[in-house]
């Protein structure tokens, strides 16, 4: 892995200055800056930056919660193999980042687990919070509704997806009788698919689990005829059926101009809705089987993911004003708290995020005072989906026919919903942060947020790639 001599932002600034001073195209300036630092081209600079960020992204600690349960004590006497106590190798982290980005680009919802040496030897895996939430989102299994007796154990189909073959297995889902009955799972023959510290992705498809070893192969580079690629094609074909159905219907109605039903900003959406046969009062927004329809005028920058205040009923401090009073500072005539909160390190105000997996709470903490504010995980997931629904952005032009406005439909940009199961893992890894923007002038205090944000270059871990279609084909 080659490290950049300066931050990517500084290299872009150099390119901008060079473009202005020599009156050359910005793309040409980027190439020259790349060459000046020994890179073959700007693409290699971007690759080096991606690899550097991948290597520096923390991996969640191993989960061996089962080792503290009474029923495990009798199994633990002969454990001799040490657990992973260091970070993953740089090459593994780069491969992991590539596979995560590839699945996200395709819109494949997934969760991750790491088999530990103890877990593999004793056939036990913790069903961690991200895995459990993924199962709930997909309607696969809900551990909260499961009892702790032998007869409550659930068995379902599962598959190990190797590059050249797919091997069937099963998954057992259960809660032990001891203590709180922390959720567990197990896949027979997992030792033939993974070794300790491998990063395993779980995909839910047709009420079965499909496991991919993100530590062992570059999935995007596999042949289109490989077993892995064939499964992905099958999965995408099934998941995209509604979008394909809608696209075909739009192509039909786009053959002729559609009549405008109302005036105003919603005219295009309403006209399309009526042309598709959707009753005008069926929803506040044009909607087709869960896909939002909008008369698009371009895409928004998604570096700001959403704004969401804490759940004050769970929080130690009960309002943004109380947070401002305790941790704010004067700036001229104003009293402010403008700061970024991350899981990686405390900021200058001593504030930091901690994700508590057991409760599924994102907790803002102070280095001395302890808990400050709490966001339940479900609240954040719901806000993400509310802000970024699956949408068809339809490009249209207007013209008058016999004194009545009509629309000609030209193209569609399909933005799919984000991978909601990845939201908390990305916050936990420090990829997604939160900004307090609180200000009081006089006796009035207000917060523009809190804003949950992600760097533009990291959107690939959360959002599928938009797809563009012509309606005139």
Tokens 């047709």 belong to: 206
Q: Which residue has the higher pLDDT, 271 or 101?
A: 101
**pLDDT, position 300:** 36
Q: HSE on the CB side for 287, CA within 13 Å?
A: 9
User: Do 64 and 119 form a contact (C-beta atoms < 8 A)?
Assistant: yes
Tokens 């050359």 belong to: 24
116: left (phi over 0), alpha (psi -120 to 50) or beta: beta
Instruction: List Cβ neighbours of 102 (8 Å cut-off, separation of 6 or more).
Output: 219, 220
User: Do 315 and 372 form a contact (C-beta atoms < 8 A)?
Assistant: yes
Residue 354 has pLDDT above 70, yes or no: yes
**pLDDT, position 165:** 96
Cis peptide before 450 (omega within 30 of 0): yes
Residue 297 has pLDDT above 50, yes or no: no
Q: CA torsion sign, 26 to 32 to 38 to 41?
A: positive
Tokens read off for 273: 């809705």
Q: Where are the domains of the chain?
A: 8-55, 94-232, 240-473
Among 3.40.190.10, 3.30.428.10, 3.30.70.3570, 3.30.70.1560, what is the CATH number of 240-473? 3.30.70.3570
Q: Which of 257-266, 338-347, 401-410 has the highest mean pLDDT?
A: 338-347
The span from the CA of 32 to the CA of 176, in Å, is 62
Burial 279-295 (b: 16+ CB within 10 A, else e): eeeeeeebebeebbbbb
Residue 298 has pLDDT above 50, yes or no: no
Other CB atoms within a 10 A radius of the CB of residue 189 amount to 11
Helix (H) or strand (E) holding 248: helix 241-253
Question: What's the burial of 30, exposed, middle or buried (CB within 10 Å: 0-12/13-18/19+)?
Answer: buried
**pLDDT, position 177:** 84
Helices (H), 74-150: 90-106, 117-122, 129-137
The span from the CA of 66 to the CA of 87, in Å, is 22
Mean pLDDT of the chain: 89
**pLDDT, position 301:** 33
User: Do 361 and 375 form a contact (C-beta atoms < 8 A)?
Assistant: yes
pLDDT tens-place string over residues 362-377: 999 999 999 999 999 9
Residue 67's pLDDT band (boundaries 50, 70, 90)?
low
Give, in degrees to the nearest 5, the angle at Cα 340 between 306 and 131. Answer: 55
Residue 13's pLDDT band (boundaries 50, 70, 90)?
very high
What DSSP state is assigned to residue 458? G
User: Do 343 and 427 form a contact (C-beta atoms < 8 A)?
Assistant: yes
pLDDT tens-place string over residues 68-124: 665 555 555 555 567 887 889 999 999 999 999 999 999 999 999 999 999 999 899
Q: Which of 40-54, 152-166, 303-317, 408-422 has the highest mean pLDDT?
A: 152-166
The span from the CA of 110 to the CA of 210, in Å, is 10
Q: Which residue has the higher pLDDT, 161 or 10?
A: 161
Q: Which residue has the higher pLDDT, 446 or 143?
A: 143
Residue 229 has pLDDT above 60, yes or no: yes
Other CB atoms within a 10 A radius of the CB of residue 160 amount to 21
């Amino acid at each position: 892995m080659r490290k950049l001599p300066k931050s990517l932002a500084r290299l872009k600034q150099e390119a901008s200055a060079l473009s202005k001073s020599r009156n050359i195209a910005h793309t040409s300036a980027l190439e020259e800056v790349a060459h000046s630092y020994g890179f073959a081209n700007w693409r290699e600079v971007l690759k080096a930056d991606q690899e550097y960020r991948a290597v520096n992204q923390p991996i969640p600690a191993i989960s061996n919660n089962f080792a503290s349960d009474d029923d495990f004590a009798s199994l633990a006497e002969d454990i001799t193999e040490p657990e992973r106590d260091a970070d993953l190798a740089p090459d593994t982290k780069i491969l992991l980042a590539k596979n995560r980005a590839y699945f996200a680009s395709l819109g494949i919802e997934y969760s991750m687990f790491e088999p530990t040496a103890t877990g593999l030897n004793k056939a036990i895996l913790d069903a961690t919070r991200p895995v459990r939430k993924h199962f709930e989102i997909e309607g696969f299994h809900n551990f909260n509704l499961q009892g702790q007796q032998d007869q409550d154990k659930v068995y379902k189909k599962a598959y190990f997806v190797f590059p050249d073959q797919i091997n069937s297995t099963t998954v057992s889902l259960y809660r032990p009788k001891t203590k709180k009955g922390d959720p567990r799972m197990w896949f027979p023959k997992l030792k033939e698919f993974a070794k300790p510290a491998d990063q395993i992705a779980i995909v839910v498809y047709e009420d079965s689990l499909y496991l991919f070893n993100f530590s062992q192969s570059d999935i995007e580079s596999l042949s289109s005829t490989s077993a892995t690629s064939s499964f992905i094609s099958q999965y995408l074909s099934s998941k995209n059926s509604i979008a394909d159905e809608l696209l075909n219907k739009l192509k039909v109605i786009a053959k002729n101009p559609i009549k405008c039903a109302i005036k105003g900003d919603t005219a295009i959406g309403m006209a399309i809705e009526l042309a598709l046969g959707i009753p005008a009062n069926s929803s506040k927004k044009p909607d087709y089987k869960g896909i939002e329809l909008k008369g698009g005028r371009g895409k928004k920058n998604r570096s700001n993911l959403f704004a969401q205040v804490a759940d004050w009923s769970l929080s130690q401090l009960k309002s943004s004003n109380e947070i401002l009073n305790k941790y704010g500072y004067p700036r001229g005539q104003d009293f402010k708290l403008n700061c970024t909160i991350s899981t990686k390190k405390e900021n200058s105000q001593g504030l930091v995020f901690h994700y508590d997996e057991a409760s599924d709470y994102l907790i803002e903490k102070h280095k001395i005072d302890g808990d400050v504010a709490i966001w339940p995980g479900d609240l954040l997931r719901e806000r993400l989906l509310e802000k970024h629904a699956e949408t068809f952005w339809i490009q249209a032009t207007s013209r008058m026919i016999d004194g009545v406005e009509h629309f000609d439909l030209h193209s569609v940009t399909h933005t799919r919903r984000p991978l909601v199961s990845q939201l908390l893992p990305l916050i936990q890894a420090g990829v997604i942060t939160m900004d307090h923007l609180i200000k009081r002038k006089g006796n009035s205090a207000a917060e523009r947020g809190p804003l949950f944000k992600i760097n533009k270059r990291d959107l690939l871990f959360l959002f599928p790639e938009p797809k563009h279609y012509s309606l005139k084909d």
